[in-house]
């Protein structure tokens, strides 16, 4: 098990100990309420079980993961309909990044893929006007015409939008590789 899996297992054990309820029972309770939104699940767990935000957030994520278990590939939903033409670009970016090493955790979110090592180093997902956005965390790096700086308080420090497979090039991968190295 990797560091992230070990940390999650410890957090789950602590939640079960504090609440006196197994994780599967907590998930069943949350799902039985029929909440449509993640935030509703978190609010209920905090109010009714006195959980801290981090614990409630994990339980809600696990409950939602059970709901989405039948979806084989989250990117299928991201690139459905009008965005289908962007999918090959997404797949090419992710495949090139995967070649960096086998220590990359793929953490699908609602609308994008988070790529992590010890911490998140990149996000890949659909963007406007037929593009795919690649965002990275690389503090202190000067932006250029390819990678634009993102304002303070955002989830990443830099981003670019890619409109064709030709743009999944060495220049892009150099930026992402630096973020990958910094996240290790």
pLDDT score for 66: 55
pLDDT score for 73: 73
In the DSSP assignment, the letter for residue 69 is T
Q: Give the chain's radius of gyration (CA, Å).
A: 18
- What angle, rounded to 10 degrees, do the helices at 3-19 and 53-67 form? 110
What kind and span of H or E run contains 72? none
Q: Nearest 5°: phi and psi at 101?
A: 170, 165
Q: Is the pLDDT of residue 96 over 60?
A: yes
Tell me: the pLDDT tens digits for 128-159? 999 999 999 999 999 999 999 998 888 899 99
CA–CA distance, 182 with 9 (Å, rounded to integer): 26
CA–CA distance, 65 with 103 (Å, rounded to integer): 22
Tell me: the pLDDT tens digits for 73-95? 788 889 988 899 999 999 999 99
Contact between residue 131 and residue 162 where contact means Cβ atoms under 8 Å apart: yes
Q: How confident is the model at residue 1 (pLDDT cuts 50, 70, 90)?
A: low
Contact between residue 131 and residue 161 where contact means Cβ atoms under 8 Å apart: yes
């Amino acid at each position: 098990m990797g560091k992230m899996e070990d940390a999650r297992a410890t957090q789950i054990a602590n939640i079960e100990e504090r609440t006196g309820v197994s994780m599967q029972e907590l998930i069943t309770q949350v799902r039985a309420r029929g909440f449509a939104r993640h935030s509703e699940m978190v609010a209920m767990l905090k109010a009714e079980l006195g959980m801290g935000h981090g614990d409630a957030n994990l339980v809600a994520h696990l409950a939602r993961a059970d709901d989405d278990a039948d979806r084989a590939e989250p990117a299928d939903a991201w690139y459905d309909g009008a965005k289908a033409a962007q999918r090959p670009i997404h797949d090419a970016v992710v495949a090139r990044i995967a070649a960096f090493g086998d220590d990359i955790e793929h953490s699908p979110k609602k609308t994008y893929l988070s790529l992590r090592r010890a911490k998140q180093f990149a996000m890949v997902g659909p963007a406007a006007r037929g593009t795919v956005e690649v965002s990275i965390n690389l503090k202190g790096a000067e932006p250029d015409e390819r990678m634009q700086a993102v304002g303070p308080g955002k989830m990443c420090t830099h981003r670019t939008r890619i409109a064709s497979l030709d743009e999944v090039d060495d220049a892009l991968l150099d930026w992402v590789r630096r973020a990958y190295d910094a996240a290790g």
